[in-house]
């Protein structure tokens, strides 16, 4: 038994997306058996743009039952039925959330008529309900009202069941381990199957082949599937628009991070939220106090004239200063790591201060160690090449930082003999530096940093 369902909502996202109307047709595969239709009081204002789309306004639902009042009816009506809808994850997700708010776990097997249509009626330009019905001469009246859309979905479902291969497709889709109902309705499953279990970046594209999201992964297939299992509002909105997936292999996580950052800056995808804000940058600096003692500190980059190193947040600054302070036995008070009232002699600490703050150590000796710490920071601004795994066994990847500036990454065949960084220019894929790139590389360098006191 099938229950073909459509809901109209307030359109405020899944967590606040309240039902305003619901229609359910019970169908046994041959004939309609029963029907349940009701307006629903969402107990929340209906936005004007929703009223313009559906015709449902606050006055129409003012005396309608709340979802809680019809919940038992919906549970009983849909019991032992397969939940069928056009873009099923939306309707199912909204209803499941309504039940969750009532403390009820709503679980039904699902079928998506969009996905079924793509398989059984291939070659159409659009699989939206309106255009699909027009293409297949299916009557659709009272558009964007729950009963009208649900009834059209019934007629579509009837047509789909009569198509060759429908029985096998439904059996496969309803299999307990099938991913069909979880995948975006407009996505061809073959594109998911073609994803490798390797590091790289992936692109989600809409039906017009416009990039709407870029992500990176150590395992492309696993990460992409994670989007489709995630039922957060942001992910549901994204997945409803995904029609195609593309990818590029990176060989390593570091190169994937750099590729992702560059792709976001190039394509500015609508659903990427990170790396689209201009971050506030911070820098490390040094100064000499009245006694001639050299201090280390950090602050906003915009207020510094000659920073020793730059970072994208104060946490990174503190992390680097902490490592330097420990490695060179510096005073934590003179590195902005503890309060000025901290007593290095009596208070327990992870740091080892030799007494510069209490005049028990010669200033020249202390300053020498500060200079050694600064030298470590300056060494990080030299030309550095990070060697990484390649995209396959016959190559290796590299990331080139020249004079402290990110130049790009590249892939070198294993047969190539490289004896000087200048020889990497042949294989270099030039890239732009940016605060996000610096954040990625600074984090990576900190993991590899080997501090010495020689």
Please say whether the beta carbons of 37 and 56 come within 8 A: no
Q: Let me know if residue 375 belongs to a domain.
A: no
Q: Let me know if residue 274 belongs to a domain.
A: no
Rounded distance between C-alpha atoms, residue 377 and residue 372, angstroms: 9
Q: How much is the pLDDT for 448?
A: 63
Please say whether the beta carbons of 327 and 450 come within 8 A: no
Q: Let me know if residue 75 belongs to a domain.
A: yes
Going by C-alpha positions, the residue among 81, 70, 80, 12 that lies closest to residue 41 is 70
Rounded distance between C-alpha atoms, residue 13 and residue 236, angstroms: 9
Q: Is this model's pTM higher than 0.85 or not?
A: no
Residues 322 and 287 in one domain: yes
Task: Kindly give, in sequence order, each residue whose CB lies less than 8 Å from that of residue 8, ignoring residues fewer than 6 positions away.
Answer: 19, 20, 21, 22, 50, 54, 56, 144, 145, 146
Please say whether the beta carbons of 132 and 124 come within 8 A: yes
Residues 210 and 260 in one domain: yes
Residues 82 and 14 in one domain: yes
**128: buried, middle or exposed (CB in 10 Å: 19+, 13-18, 0-12)?**
middle
What is the spatial order of strands in the sheet that 244-249 belongs to? 211-217, 200-205, 244-249
Q: Let me know if residue 372 belongs to a domain.
A: no
Q: Let me know if residue 47 belongs to a domain.
A: yes
Residues 393 and 329 in one domain: no
Which SS3 state, helix, strand or coil, does residue 127 take? coil
Q: Let me know if residue 179 belongs to a domain.
A: no
Please say whether the beta carbons of 263 and 214 come within 8 A: yes
Across 354-370, average pLDDT: 94
CB atoms within 10 A of CB 127: 21
pLDDT level of residue 31 (50, 70, 90 thresholds): very high
Rounded distance between C-alpha atoms, residue 109 and residue 117, angstroms: 18
Rounded distance between C-alpha atoms, residue 43 and residue 29, angstroms: 36
Q: How much is the pLDDT for 275?
A: 61
Strands 32-39 and 110-112: what pairing? unpaired
Residues 209 and 322 in one domain: no
Rounded distance between C-alpha atoms, residue 24 and residue 325, angstroms: 67
What is the spatial order of strands in the sheet that 110-112 belongs to? 32-39, 19-27, 2-9, 82-85, 110-112
Residue 178 has pLDDT above 60, yes or no: no
Q: How much is the pLDDT for 316?
A: 85
Q: Let me know if residue 59 belongs to a domain.
A: yes
Across 185-200, average pLDDT: 88
Helical packing angle, 435-448 and 253-267, nearest 10° = 170
pLDDT level of residue 310 (50, 70, 90 thresholds): confident
Among residues 306, 339, 367, the one where a domain terminates is 367
Across 46-63, average pLDDT: 92
Rounded distance between C-alpha atoms, residue 284 and residue 378, angstroms: 11
For residue 219, what is the domain's CATH number? 3.40.1440.10
Q: Let me know if residue 33 belongs to a domain.
A: yes
Range of the domain at 298: 282-367
For 243-301, how does the pLDDT look when each residue is reduced to its tens digit (9 = 90+)?
999 999 999 999 999 999 999 989 999 998 766 556 677 889 999 999 999 999 999 98
Residue 422 has pLDDT above 80, yes or no: yes
Domain tally, the chain: 4
């Amino acid at each position: 038994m099938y229950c073909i369902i459509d809901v109209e909502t307030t359109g405020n996202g899944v967590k606040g997306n309240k039902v305003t109307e619901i229609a359910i047709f019970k169908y046994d595969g041959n004939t309609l058996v029963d029907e349940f239709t009701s307006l629903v009081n969402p107990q929340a204002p209906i936005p004007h743009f929703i009223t313009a789309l559906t015709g449902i306004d606050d006055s129409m639902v003012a005396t309608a039952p709340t979802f809680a009042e019809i919940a038992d009816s919906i549970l009983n009506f849909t019991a032992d039925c397969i939940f069928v809808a056009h873009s099923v994850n939306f309707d199912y997700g909204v209803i499941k959330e309504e039940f969750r708010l009532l403390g009820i776990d709503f679980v039904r097997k699902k079928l998506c008529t969009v996905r079924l249509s793509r398989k059984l009626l291939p070659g159409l330009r659009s699989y939206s309900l309106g255009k699909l019905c027009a293409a297949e001469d299916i009557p659709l009246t009272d558009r964007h009202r729950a009963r009208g859309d649900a009834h059209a979905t019934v007629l579509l479902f009837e047509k789909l069941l009569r198509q060759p291969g429908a029985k096998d497709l439904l059996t496969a889709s309803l299999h307990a381990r099938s991913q069909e109902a979880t995948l975006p309705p407009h996505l061809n499953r073959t594109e998911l199957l073609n994803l490798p279990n390797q590091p790289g970046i992936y692109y989600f594209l809409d039906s017009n082949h416009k990039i709407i999201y870029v992500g990176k992964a150590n395992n492309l297939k696993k990460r992409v599937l994670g989007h489709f299992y995630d039922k957060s509002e942001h992910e549901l909105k994204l997945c409803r628009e995904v029609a195609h997936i593309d990818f590029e292999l990176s060989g390593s996580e570091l190169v994937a991070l750099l590729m992702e950052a560059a792709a976001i800056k190039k394509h500015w995808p609508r659903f990427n939220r990170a790396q689209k804000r201009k971050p506030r940058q911070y820098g490390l600096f040094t100064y000499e106090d009245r006694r001639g003692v050299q201090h280390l500190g950090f602050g906003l980059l915009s207020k510094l004239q000659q920073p020793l190193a730059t970072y994208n947040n104060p946490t990174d600054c503190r992390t680097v200063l902490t490592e330097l302070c420990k490695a060179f036995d510096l005073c934590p008070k003179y590195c902005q790591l503890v309060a000025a009232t901290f007593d290095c002699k009596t208070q327990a600490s992870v740091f080892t201060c030799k007494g510069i703050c209490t005049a028990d150590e010669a200033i020249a000796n202390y300053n020498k160690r500060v200079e050694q710490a600064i030298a470590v920071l300056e060494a990080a601004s030299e030309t550095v090449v990070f060697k990484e795994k390649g995209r396959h066994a016959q190559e290796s990847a590299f990331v080139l930082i020249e004079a402290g500036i990110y130049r790009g990454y590249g892939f070198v065949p294993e047969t190539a003999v490289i004896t000087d960084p200048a020889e990497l220019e042949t294989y270099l894929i030039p890239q732009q530096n940016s605060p996000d790139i610096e954040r990625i590389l600074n984090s990576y360098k900190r993991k590899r940093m080997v501090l010495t006191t020689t």
